[in-house]
Amino acid sequence: MQKRPYHAIVSDMDGTLLNEHHVIGDFTAQTLEHLYDNKVDIILATGRNYFDVSSILKKTKVKEAVLITSNGAQAHNLQGELLLNNSLPEEIAYQVMNLPFDDNRVCVNSYQADGWFINKDIPELYKYHKDSGFLYEVVDFKQHHGRDTEKVFFIARTPADLVELEQRLRQDFGEKISLTYSTPICLEVMNKNVSKATALAQVIGQREYGLQDCIAFGDGMNDVEMLAEVGKGCMMGNADPRLIQRCPQLETIGCNTDEAVAVYLRAIFGMD
């Protein structure tokens, strides 16, 4: 491998590093392993939970990595050591979980203390987590609690189903929360000042290099700040159209179905 152009690669998971089956393809796994063997730091930045992500990555031969999860609410190393934590205040989390919405069009979820909670059974969500086995527990959120809440997220049938809910969240909570979309139909709520970018800056702040020495990949609106602040940000060909419109200065590469992140990394790092 030629002289490394970047000290770290930072990647989103769904729609980016993972293929259409929501798993790491063999070509991608081999690429990550080769980069790791050549002292390139591996950093994953995702809306997923730590247990979910670590289970996926541990199927590769990568032994060390940083996992930024719940859109930046937490970061761990691959051994499970907590590097940073920024949960929603308990009362705000409980209020967000119990906002009114059309139960036929939207479901509410939370990640709390390594658990995934949801207000109704939706078996089609299993496909996203079959590789890790990370499954939800159905609860009545009115009887639930807001402790240790990394994020609350709403999944809808269509983007239009989230418009009124987003307006209500901004009106009721303002700067007390952070709002983003991981996909056009998934609206996510974290504590104020939480993003993949803020978590990445804290992680890189402990290294002997800076954000300009990182290359990052993403496909969603929750990747905007991260892609803009690293040395090189790349958008997927299958990215949310709003991301492409928001960041026209960034390079667009191929699609996750073709393991385009791995293809791109092999090219710029001079890997055979």
Task: Compute the C-alpha angle 155/160/161, nearest 5°.
Answer: 45
- The model's pTM is 0.95
Q: Looking at 125, 160, 191, which one is the last position of a domain?
A: 191
Range of the domain at 184: 90-191
Catalytic residue (choose from 12, 219, 223, 240)? 12
Residues 61 and 106 in one domain: no
**2 pLDDT more than 70:** no
Segment 15-72, tens digit of pLDDT = 999 999 999 999 999 999 999 999 999 999 999 999 999 988 988 999 999 999 999 9
102 pLDDT more than 90: yes
Same domain? For 76 and 102 the reply is: no
Q: Which amino acid is at 243?
A: L
Q: How many CA atoms lie within 13 A of 145 on its CB side?
A: 5
Q: pLDDT, tens digit, for every residue of 189-214?
A: 999 999 999 999 999 999 999 999 99
For residue 2, is it within any domain? Answer: no
Mean pLDDT of the chain: 95
Domain limit, last residue, from 155, 172, 191 = 191
Number of domains in the chain: 2
Segment 12-29, tens digit of pLDDT: 999 999 999 999 999 999
12 is catalytic: yes
Domain boundary among 145, 176, 191: 191
Q: Are both 109 and 37 inside the same structural domain? A: no
Residue with tokens 């667009």: 252
For the chain, give the number of residues: 272
Which tokens sit at 186?
């998934």
- Indicate the DSSP class of residue 245: H
Per DSSP bridges, beta strands 106-112 and 149-156 are antiparallel
